[in-house]
Amino acid sequence: MPATVGRRTERLATVRRVTRGIDRRTIVRASVVTAVVYAAWLAVGAFGRPYNFFDMKIYHGAVVWWATGHELYGFVAPDTTLGFTYPPFAGLVMLPMAHLPVAAAGLVNAAASLAALAVVLAGLLRPIVDRLAWPLWFTVALAVPLAAAIEPARETLGYGQVNLLLFGLVMADMIGLRWRSRRGPHTDAEDGPLLRFVYSGAWAGVGIGLATAVKLTPALFIAYLMITRQWRAAVTAIVTTIGVTIGTFAIVGAESRTYFGSVLWQTERVGAADMTPNQSLAGLLARLYDSIETPGLLWLAFSVLILALGLSRAANSHADGDELTAFTLVGLTGNVISPISWTHHLVWVIPAIIVLADAAVRRREASRGLVHRTLPASPNGSLPTVNGPRSPIWYPTLTGLRHGIAAVGLYLLFLISPIWPYEHQLPEVSHYQDGLFGALMENSLAVALIVLVAALPWRPGAEPAFYADRMGRVAAARR
């Protein structure tokens, strides 16, 4: 008996040594993360669609077809009219998955996409959590399942799409610009050459260039970089795109000629403009006209207007020192003006939600500080009052309320995704089958994108991407 008690005491001592470094707060946070992951999983089941790596099956079938000696763009998926629609460089990148089963390829893509999402969220949330003194790991651990549960991310993961990977490439350039602005063109001498290169941000533009070579729509970011005179990043992006494209021509010239000569212009390969998952301006107009095709001149006129609005607001955001909002506005603008923007393309609502939430917190903090700075303390040492004891409490709280409501509302809209209960297909069913409310629900995500382009607030001084040497020259010129 004493020997048994002794062994139990030794085991308890071992457990105490293992758990000594784990405090109660860490356990609580881990439990909260577990609960959020489970809730996100339930939300995907409740609001998502049946997912079976549908798009990945097309990509996988195309590269297997290509690897066996056939023409890449001659592939048509069984029981569909769909084939490979990406540039040949994307085919080269996807070619190794021809050696995997389609389910394994889909799982690898999902894992890589979640990893990219986690890295991007860590980069985007880092300035915010540092300011608020929150633990980064806990914030990111909550943000990843929350982001993965909404329409663009869950569709990307469930269908085997590449949007989160492209999103990561583009946002990597924004983070590179941030690093360059903080450390300037010169880095610490004690850093090794690799670290000096990484933290200098000199590579900013490579991600946009690679994303453009895979999918043409990220080219809008190159236009933004040129408008804001971020010439180094713009040139890097252009050179990367051209270099990758020329290199692809050298490797697979026949496929390159086929793509740029004909496939690029065959819009029917993608799908009809009025299809419900197409939440671009073109899809919105087609459904409003109850037509399979978009009214061309009207779409062109509104697209030019939204393009000018989005890029001008992005440039103003950059000038005011909020590069995250600037990039988000460019991404949202690309979603709106693209002829086809499936719901899995709309990943730019993720940073939009972050911007709105942070704007709410910033306004509340600024208002609270203003109240405490401007109001004298009460004689008894209590908090200052304005027209009664409740004013200093209510005023700062209500200041950021509209931005907080907008962030929560935007998240819930893309979580619930009300377009699917009102999905209709011409010519069998009119898009007005369920009346004006049904038409609004079917177009709700497109309307939200347009509103964000027009009204997404930026946060002056939040994340400037101004190079230190350029700021020094500007300051000297002003003196």
What tens digit of pLDDT does each residue of 307-320 get?
A: 999 999 999 999 99
Question: Is the separation of the CB atoms in 443 and 341 below 8 Å?
Answer: no
Three-class secondary structure of residue 322 per DSSP: strand
Cis bond upstream, residue 427 (ω within 30): yes
DSSP letter at 290? T
Q: Which pLDDT belongs to residue 161? A: 94
Residues in the chain predicted with pLDDT less than 70, given as ranges, are 1-22, 183-192, 267-269, 367-399, 467-479
Question: Is the separation of the CB atoms in 108 and 60 below 8 Å?
Answer: no
The two tokens of residue 218 are 């990220």
The two tokens of residue 380 are 């008894």
Q: What is the CA radius of gyration of the chain?
A: 26
CA angle 99, 101, 107 (to 5 degrees): 110
DSSP annotation string for 455-466: H----TTSB---
Tokens 């993608």 sit on residue: 270
Which residues 6+ apart lie within 8 Å of 257 measured at CB?
249
The two tokens of residue 235 are 């040139």
Q: Which pLDDT belongs to residue 343? A: 96
Rounding to the nearest 10 degrees, give the CA dihedral for residues 38, 40, 41, 44.
Answer: 160
Q: Which pLDDT belongs to residue 182? A: 74
Question: Is the separation of the CB atoms in 156 and 164 below 8 Å?
Answer: yes
Three-class secondary structure of residue 278 per DSSP: strand
DSSP annotation string for 174-240: HHHHHHHHHH-S---TTS-HHHHHHHHTTTTTHHHHHHHHH-STTHHHHHHHHHTT-HHHHHHHHHH
What distance in Å separates the CA atoms of residue 147 and residue 139, rounded to the nearest whole number? 12
What distance in Å separates the CA atoms of residue 297 and residue 241, rounded to the nearest whole number? 30
Nearest to 351 by CA among 35, 177, 128, 32: 128
What distance in Å separates the CA atoms of residue 449 and residue 281, rounded to the nearest whole number? 9
Q: Which pLDDT belongs to residue 12? A: 56
CA 346 from centroid of its chain's CA atoms: 7
Backbone angles phi, psi at 247, to 5 degrees: -60, -40
Output the pTM of the full model.
Answer: 0.87
Three-state helix/strand/coil letters over 244-313 = HHHHHHHHCHHHHHHHHHCHHHCHHHCCCCCCCCECCHHHHHHHHCCCCCCCHHHHHHHHHHHHHHHHHH
What distance in Å separates the CA atoms of residue 394 and residue 385, rounded to the nearest whole number? 11
pLDDT tens figures, 339-395: 999 999 999 999 999 999 999 988 877 766 554 455 455 555 454 554 444 445 555
What distance in Å separates the CA atoms of residue 335 and residue 330, rounded to the nearest whole number? 9
Helix spans in 417-465 (H): 435-442, 444-455
